[in-house]
Amino acid sequence: EVQLQASGGGLVQAGGSLRLSCAISGLPFNNTHIGWFRQAPGKEREGVTCFDTGGVPYYEDSVKGRFTLISDRTSNTAYLQMDNLKPEDTAVYFCTPALKSFYGGYYCRPSRNYWGQGTQVTVSS
């Protein structure tokens, strides 16, 4: 059974930081690239960051320079380090297998239909 458990969300003031964790089981972590998506109230889910097939992180423009995607193969855990958070980052964050793809522009494409419950991130102004 595949399990993806995102955690580490919370309430933080604008300019603050959070580190999200994604514990993965049931997947071969060494052959699986994990990406992060988010869904704000009333909006569609969007890709935030993911790896390309060479293991190089890709970041959506709004988070570039503020978010860092980290993969720790020793613990089968992926992390999303979020710095200089903004109110518009408020959303439920999900981790899932994903890869950088191209269709009119670069984006993160989920490679499997595995979604955990996500973790809520709320940034106050």
Q: What is the pLDDT along the chain (125 residues), one digit of tens a residue?
A: 888 899 999 999 999 999 999 988 888 777 788 999 999 999 999 999 999 999 999 999 999 999 999 998 888 889 999 999 999 999 999 999 999 999 999 999 998 888 888 999 999 99
pLDDT given at position 75 = 83
Residue 31: per-residue pLDDT: 72
Rounded Cα–Cα distance for residues 108 and 91 (Å)? 17
User: What pLDDT is attached to residue 41?
Assistant: 92
Closest CA to 90 of 42, 61, 122: 122
Beta bridge partners of 49: 36, 59
Instruction: Compute the distance between CA of residue 93 and CA of residue 117 in angstroms, rounded to an integer.
Output: 9
In this predicted structure, what is the pLDDT of residue 26? 85
Buried b (16+ CB within 10 A) or exposed e, 34-58: bbbbbeeeeeebebbbbbeeeeebb
Per-residue model confidence (pLDDT) at position 107: 96
Cα dihedral: 7, 10, 38, 74 (round 10) = -30
Model pLDDT, residue 12 = 98
